[in-house]
Structure 1
Amino acid sequence: MFDLQLMFHSYKKYIFYLLALYVLGWGLTDYQQIFLGLIIGTSISFYNLWMLVRKSTQFGEALANGRKVTLGTATRMASAIVGVFFALKFPEYIDLISVVLGLMTMYVVIMIDFLLKHLR
């Protein structure tokens, strides 16, 4: 099994590069709505992954010590709802579909990273 912190570090690197590209796209193109939605959705997706890694580590420690802990599913869902709320509240600035695509970005990054590591 891969080390969770090592995997998170590589995902973090990929997401920061992707966010840098989104910021460049937001600043240099006429598609500010779309890129701002991607920035918001990807940032929330990264936050959700960070929260999941943190809670998984706490979960492992809690199992070793016999305590109970949750994985924070409600918190991750609430953060996604906040991103969609902002897209609905400010549709002239943020594209809703881009926010939803940004929320799925982390899963695409995980799949691509898995394929690259599997092919090596």
Structure 2
Amino acid sequence: MPELQQVFNRHRKYIFFLLSFYVLGWGFTSYQSIFLGLILGTSISLFSHWLIMRRTVRFGDAVAAGQKVRSLGTFSRMAGAAFAVIVAMEYPEHLHLLSVIIGLMTIYIVIMIDYFTQQLKSHN
């Protein structure tokens, strides 16, 4: 599934761009807790995206080989999100909880934007 790897690489580049923007915001503004929450949530979001991509490739390989298929790691991704929220709740003076949650959702926004831009490119 090389096309899945290409899509993931595109998403990773977008997320790294956002993370660099968040680091600049953390370093140069007075909203450090908000940007630190975005950094934490987006990092966990990228990890979850990497995990689901890797397990999807394994899933496809197992189906092609006719083997039994394990889960796609829903529990691992939920545990990562729960970890981020717990850390934000434990250190509210350093991490803004709503920013962590928005950061966790960032990958889905990136996926939707990438999908629409790829559809526009394919129609032109």
Question: Structure 1 segments of 4 or more deviating over 6 A?
Answer: none
Write the letter of the residue equivalent to 2:97.
L
CA distance in 2, matches of 1:90, 1:29: 20
Contact 1:48 1:76 in 2 (8 A): yes
Residues 69-114 of structure 1: CA distance to partner in whole angstroms, max 9, x if unpaired? 2100000000000000000000000000000000000000011111
CA distance in 2, matches of 1:76, 1:9: 19
Partner of 1:28: 28
Aligned residues: 120
AA matched with 1:99? V
Equivalent residue, structure 2, for 1:63: 63
Q: Equivalent residue for 2:106?
A: 105
TM-score (norm 2): 0.93
**Structure 1: gaps of 5 or more residues:** none
Cα distance, 1:67 vs structure 2: 2.5
Give the aligned partner of residue 6 of structure 2. Answer: 6
Partner in structure 1 of residue 73 of structure 2 = 72
Aligned twin of 1:116: 117
Q: Percent identity?
A: 50
Aligned position for 1:46? 46
The CA RMSD measured in Å over matched residues stands at 1.3
TM-score, with length taken from structure 1 = 0.96
